[in-house]
Structure 1
Amino acid sequence: MKLNLLLALAIPIAFCAQKNSVADTLGNYPNAYSSGSANIKPFDNSSRMFRDWSVSVGGGGAFMHSADVNSFYDGKVDFGWNAYGSLDKQISHTFGLSLLYQTGKTNQKALLPGAAGVAAGVATAYTKYHQVSVLGDINFSNLMRRTDNHSPYRWALHGYGGVGLQAYNTLLLDNDMSRWSTTPNRIPIEIDQKLGFDSFFFQVGTGVKYNASKLIDIEARAMYIFSGDDSFDGGGYARNSRPPYNAIKSGSSDNMFSVNLGLSFKLGKYDTHLAWFDPLQNINNRIYVLDHAATDFVVCEKGDLDNDGVCDDWDRQLGTPAGARVDGAGVALDMDLDGVIDLYDKCVTVPGPVENNGCPINVNPK
């Protein structure tokens, strides 16, 4: 019984599956795998409507923040630099992905507490870094844009978040234990971190893009990097290292941020990039145009010379007498088919000769 029931269910499914496969391989639309609309195309590059690839480059300042050895010391800022390049793929009008490479250098200072600080003085350090990451891009302007906003779409707010790996080299010098010296135990604090899974970090940020042309976007971008590494600022390998720069502040993650100005070069042959297209607004605009379009019907382009109500474009009898009733082709009506049109027929329902005004011979027309 169970086997029969299984066969009863499986056989129709097998036949339908075969039918669907045949429909799909024929390449005809609509088919079993389409939405039922005839206005669809194969899923390949020929069906694209927008640019969706771009290359971005930029640069600006970089600063060590929330670290033991900091870029912000004694009310002053030690500026560093940052540069980036990325290959960007727009997945939808609200989301994209980037393969990002960043490099730069931060400069920072610190002072040990107590007598150690008096002996060492203000320490100076730098961090040179290289980072490779995957970055997600959310287009907040497309996500929150009102569909009835008809203003030019030239500015967009973006949010970023991603993960990556980094390699860095740090150097810290002071006047005591970590100065350049041949004296034993007086060597600089220097760290050389190789690129690997132990250098994992994540980052978030935001940016404002301006659609300068169909080929170029201009962007101001700020990124914050959580290193998860207490050695990233150059203070040493651990909190108990000597000199104890890593013990100045609590926490085990030295973070940095960058502020950059960059350009995005949009690749492809289409006029519009997907990041600058909102399908909901496009649909609303089309509805608006249709609702406010002036109704302009051109009737009787060639006129109606005989004024019978039938345009000359399809009037089969262009010289219909004035006042005669006509059919849809503009031919004068003759109800009794006696050759006398109803306009002149004195006996409309009874056939008769023309000489008697369309009435039978034995009937006198009125």
Structure 2
Amino acid sequence: MKTNLKKASILLTGLLVSGSLFAQTDSLDTKNYVKPFSGGPFRTWSIGVHGGLLTPYTIFGANGRQDFRKPQSEIGYGGYIKKQFLPGFALQADFLRGEVSGTNGQVGVGTPNSFNTKLNWSGALSANITLANINWFSKKSSIQPYLTAGAGYMGYKTTTTDAAGATTTYGDGSIKEWFVPVGLGFKVNLGSSVNLDLGYQVNFVQSDNFDGYNVGSGNDRFSYAHIGLEFALGSSNKPQLATYNPVNSMRTEYVWESQQTKTMLQAQIDAEKAKNDQLRTDLNTTNANLAKLSVDSDGDGVLDVNDKCPNTPAGTKVDGSGCPLAKPVVYVTEEDKRVVKDAINNLEFDLGKATIRPKSFPSLDRVANLLTEKNFSLKLAGHTDNTGSDALNLRLSKDRAESIKSYLVSKGANASRIEATGYGESQPIATNKTAAGRQQNRRVEFTLY
């Protein structure tokens, strides 16, 4: 009795633990969604394994009237392959093994004290009816109650034991018999591909030989309470047909279509709003263009709408289109050239430096006055001989040209009209092999224009 209580406690614990999973999912997400009446795709094949308790005790009829009045609980195990045809209907092929035993046989001729039947194998084909997977408000339920009924064939060996302990094997020890399995249970979804299977099955044997003892006219029967796992075959991106809720999928489709209608109407509203915004922008642009008809931004006396040369400096004389009047052409005279040549001839620097010697200032002052009075432009090109490194000569020639520019600017010349460039030793005008040639190469050229 203690052993039976322990087995029953284990099974009850499994039931209680699984009970905490009895919750429904309610989501309108599109994961594993299948459009109503589209026919798929679904996962329709699955396999299952299970284990539990086998006993001659059943929930049908008076168990006290069975051949043995004290049923025992034994371990059983099995598996199945199932093909789902509809959300509520499937066919499955079952396999079951285990032992069934009981004691205290009813009084009669040759009454045995106990029996033990080894169920070597059994196979059955059953219809599986899934219930309660139709719900308007839940995409699918976390549990699916089911009913099963079918027909099967089994092979077993039965032995009986009398009060003295003598054991007798019934028949030839290898009996085959038809039976009718009827069951119920529910499956709990543990994941997209795994279900917890809790079930109870009564097997009606089509004879009174299952327990090896014939009393009365009723056939034998035994039950199997089990817990197991079912594995859906195929890609997890497809939903299981057994858990699919076609009614809720219609609701989901309706909600989607309503959302699409709402989105379309919102898009129309947004389009009209965009048109209004564009009209407002066009109106603002028109007003801004009208305002330009009376604006003279640069103050040259020509309105912006007619001003082809906007942003002329203040005080600049312009023509009717707002463009500066052409300046009179200024020619470089021979006297101007003589002033520049004199500055070149008198130009001296400290040895190896860009410092101008005071002797050069008077002739440079006359060049500065010339640039100021006639608004000439001047290009200064510095050159050296080949004494020293290329880098040193290039830097020295550039510094000397910049030194002259700085001096002229300090005397009032326009800095933007003076260009100072250094060429180093790259453009000699005489040979660097003689002192006289090197002297000619150490120069700053003035180009007036």
Tell me which interval the TM-score lies in, with the shorter structure as reference length.
Answer: 0.5 to 0.7
CA distance in 1, matches of 2:275, 2:88: 54
- Whether the 8 Å contact between 1:171 and 1:191 is mirrored in structure 2 is no
Please state whether the residue corresponding to 2:250 is helix, strand or coil: helix
Q: Structure 2 vs 1, CA of residues 97 and 195 (structure 1 numbering), >3 Å: closer, same or farther?
A: farther
User: Match of 1:141, SS?
Assistant: coil
**TM-score (norm: length of structure 1):** 0.58
Match of 2:210 in 1: 232
Does residue 161 of structure 2 align to residue 173 of structure 1? yes
Aligned position for 2:362: none
Q: CA RMSD, aligned part only?
A: 3.2
- The one-letter amino acid of 1:256's match is F
The SS at the match of 1:283 is helix
1:280 is matched with which residue? 247
TM-aligned CA distance change 1:124 to 1:299, over 3 Å: same
- 8 Å CA contact 2:139–2:245 kept in 1: the answer is no
Q: Deviations over 1:236-261 (max 9, x none)?
A: xxxxxxxxxx22xx223100111000
1:307 counterpart residue number: 279
What amino acid sits opposite 1:267 in the alignment? L
* Residue 140 (1) aligns with residue 131 (2): yes
In 1, the alpha carbon distance for the partners of 2:104 and 2:258 equals 67
Alignment match of 1:131 (pick from 122, 128, 145): 122
CA distance in 2, matches of 1:217, 1:49: 20
Name the stretch that deviates more: 223-232 or 288-297: 288-297
- Offset of residue 301 of structure 1: 7.9
The verdict on how the C-alpha distance between 1:306 and 1:175 changes in structure 2, with shifts beyond 3 A counting, is closer
Partner deviation per Cα, 1:50-70 (whole Å, 9 max, x = no partner): 111111000100111457443
Q: Which residue, out of 47, 52, 56, partners 1:60?
A: 52
Letter of the structure 2 residue corresponding to residue 168 of structure 1:
Y
* Residues 1:49 and 2:62 are matched in the alignment: no
Cα distance in structure 1, aligned partners of 2:73 and 2:278: 89
Deviation by residue 1:213-254 (Cα, 9 ceiling, x = unmatched): 01100011100111011110121xxxxxxxxxx22xx22310
Amino acid at match of 1:252: G
Q: Distance in 1 between matches of 2:197 and 2:156?
A: 27
Task: Tell me the CA shift for residue 321 of structure 1.
Answer: 5.6
* Contact 1:68–1:110, Cα closer than 8 Å, also in 2: no
CA contact (8 A) 1:128 1:168 kept: yes
Contact residue 89 and residue 98 of structure 1 kept, 8 A: yes
**1:60 and 1:111 mapped to 2: Cα distance?**
25
Whole-angstrom CA distance in 1 between matches of 2:189 and 2:101: 34
Which amino acid letter does the alignment assign opposite residue 161 of structure 1?
A
In structure 1, the residue corresponding to 2:132 is in which secondary structure?
helix
Question: Are 1:223 and 2:201 counterparts?
Answer: yes
CA contact (8 A) 1:69 1:109 kept: no
Provide, for residues 276-324 of structure 1, a one-character-per-residue CA deviation record: whole Å limited to 9, x for no partner: 112122012221354467553231686655527xxx9xxxx999968xx
Cα distance between partner residues in 2 of 1:101 and 1:255: 17
Match of 1:299, SS state, is helix
Matched residue SS, 2:242: helix
**Residues 214/152 of structure 1: CA separation in 2 closer, same or farther (3 Å cut):** same
Aligned with residue 100 of structure 1, among 90, 94, 98:
94
Gaps of 5+ in 2: 1-35, 58-62, 288-449
SS, match of residue 279 in structure 2:
coil
What SS does structure 1 have at the residue aligned with 2:171? strand
SS at match of 1:91: strand
- What amino acid maps onto 2:271 in structure 1? V
Structure 1 residues without counterparts, runs of 5 or longer: 1-38, 42-46, 181-187, 236-245, 323-366
* Structure 2 Cα separation of the partners of residues 87 and 96 of structure 1: 10
- CA distance 1:272–1:233, change in 2 (3 Å): same
Q: Which of 194, 209, 212 does residue 187 from structure 2 map onto?
A: 209
Question: In structure 2, how many angstroms separate the alpha carbons of the residues matched to 1:215 and 1:89?
Answer: 15
The Cα offsets for residues 58-87 of structure 1, whole Å up to 9 and x where unpaired, read as: 0100111457443x52xxx41112111111
TM-score where L is the length of structure 2? 0.48
Work out the CA distance in 2 between the residues paired with 1:151 and 1:204: 29
Q: Are residues 307 and 221 of structure 1, via their aligned partners in 2, closer, same or farther at CA, if it must alter by over 3 Å? A: same
Residue 226 of structure 1 contacts residue 256 of structure 1 at CA under 8 Å; is this kept in 2?
Answer: yes
Q: SS of the counterpart of 2:271?
A: coil
Q: Cα 1:151–1:108, aligned 2, differ >3 Å: closer, same or farther?
A: same
Rounded Cα–Cα distance in structure 2 between residues aligned with 1:229 and 1:281: 46
Secondary structure in 1 matching 2:253: helix
Query: Structure 1 residue 192: deviation in Å?
Result: 4.5
Q: Distance in 2 between matches of 1:157 and 1:218?
A: 12
SS of equivalent to 1:284? helix
How far is the alpha carbon of 1:150 from its aligned partner?
2.8
Most deviating of 288-297 and 220-229: 288-297
**Which one-letter code corresponds to 1:284 in the other structure?**
R
Contact 2:143 2:188 in 1 (8 A): yes
**1:209–1:127 Cα change, 3 Å:** same
> Is the Cα–Cα contact under 8 Å of residues 193 and 233 in structure 2 kept in the other structure?
yes
- Report which of the two structures shows the higher radius of gyration computed on alpha carbons: 2
Letter in 2 for 1:287: Y
Which residue in 2 is equivalent to 1:252?
Answer: 218
Cα offset, 1:111, TM superposition: 3.5
Which is helix-richer, 1 or 2? 2
